[in-house]
Amino acid sequence: MNQLTFLGTGDAMGVPRVYCDCDVCTEARLSGINRRKRAAVLVHGDGEHEPFMIDCGPDWRSQMEDQGMRMVQTLLITHAHFDHIGGLPEWADACRWLGVKGQLYAPREVIATIQSQFPWLGRHMNFLETDADIELAGWKVHSWKVCHGHNGYSYAYRLEREGYTWAYCSDAIDLKAAEKQPLYGLDLLVLGTSFVHELAEFSSRSVYDMVEAQELLRDLKPDQTYFTHMSHDVDIRQNYDLDQGITLALTGLKVKLGE
């Protein structure tokens, strides 16, 4: 069915931030259009294979409940930060209860970090490397390392199936020419933008803001872009006058990937 579902569109802290009383966090608490769980998506490919999730943050459990889903057996992980892997112990427990071996796909070095943080996970899942291209639910999946600024490195994924190409790049900033290469010629790009315009010193930052992201997009020219990984700086109710083809992703939003 070639479909993408946004399970979470928030930054590392989610929205509302527990300690914060700003307008966006207050709205998120009251009516909730700005309520954002940690960034993750569900990807459907061909009808034969189960869908898989990209990333498994600490909101995994409630994201599954939101979708009315009892289990997802395959995960693709971008990097080993808490907001992207914090749900793994709960996922492993679900595997244990259901008597299944989860399939966790990630680059070799990300797997090594996960195994050192959660040494018991291997009992309930197989770790599968993505350093060479793999195939998931009919998608050909290519991974590569991207600059994550102050936070080091993350990975992005480019997925291709039946002539449709899209990419998931939630945690990146200041991409160099080689890192941008796989992001050309896309039908759709999911890009992380934590702030509208982040004023903090550049050396302390780790994810694009919307101003920089639009500059990047004028170069990459994907047909469609969805911004995700958004902090409480972003108010979905505002009109930020973004370039054509850009949408702020909402929790639960479903996007068709091709025909």
The smaller minimum CB distance to Zn ion, of residues 44 and 229, is found at 229
Is cis: bond before 89, omega within 30 of 0? no
Closest CA to 11 of 190, 195, 151, 146: 195
Residue 81 makes contact with Zn ion by CB under 5 A: yes
String of DSSP letters for 57-111: -TTHHHHHHHHT-S---EEE-S---HHHHTTHHHHHHHHHHHT--EEEEE-HHHH
Sole binder of Zn ion in the list 171, 198, 209, 212 (CB under 5 A): 171
**Which of the ranges 40-48, 101-109, 165-173, 245-253 carries the binding residues for Zn ion, by CB under 5 A?**
165-173
- Tell the smallest beta-carbon distance from residue 115 to Zn ion (Å): 18
Which burial class, exposed, middle or buried, applies to 96 when counting CB atoms under 10 A from its CB (0-12, 13-18, 19+)?
Answer: middle
Residue 212 makes contact with Zn ion by CB under 5 A: no
**Which of the ranges 18-26, 41-49, 125-133, 166-174 carries the binding residues for Zn ion, by CB under 5 A?**
166-174
The smaller minimum CB distance to Zn ion, of residues 171 and 198, is found at 171
Closest-CB residue for Zn ion?
A: 81
# of chain residues touching Zn ion (CB under 5 A): 4
The encoded tokens of residue 12 equal 């590392």
Which burial class, exposed, middle or buried, applies to 198 when counting CB atoms under 10 A from its CB (0-12, 13-18, 19+)?
Answer: buried
**What does the angle CA 213 – CA 28 – CA 193 come to, to the nearest 5 degrees?**
10
Residue 59 makes contact with Zn ion by CB under 5 A: no
- Tell the smallest beta-carbon distance from residue 239 to Zn ion (Å): 26
Residue 83 makes contact with Zn ion by CB under 5 A: yes
Quote the CA–CA distance of 189 and 225 in Å, as a whole number: 5
Residue 55 makes contact with Zn ion by CB under 5 A: no
- Tell the smallest beta-carbon distance from residue 80 to Zn ion (Å): 9
The encoded tokens of residue 202 equal 């550049």
- Tell the smallest beta-carbon distance from residue 112 to Zn ion (Å): 17
Q: Which residues bind Zn ion (CB under 5 A)?
A: 12, 81, 83, 171
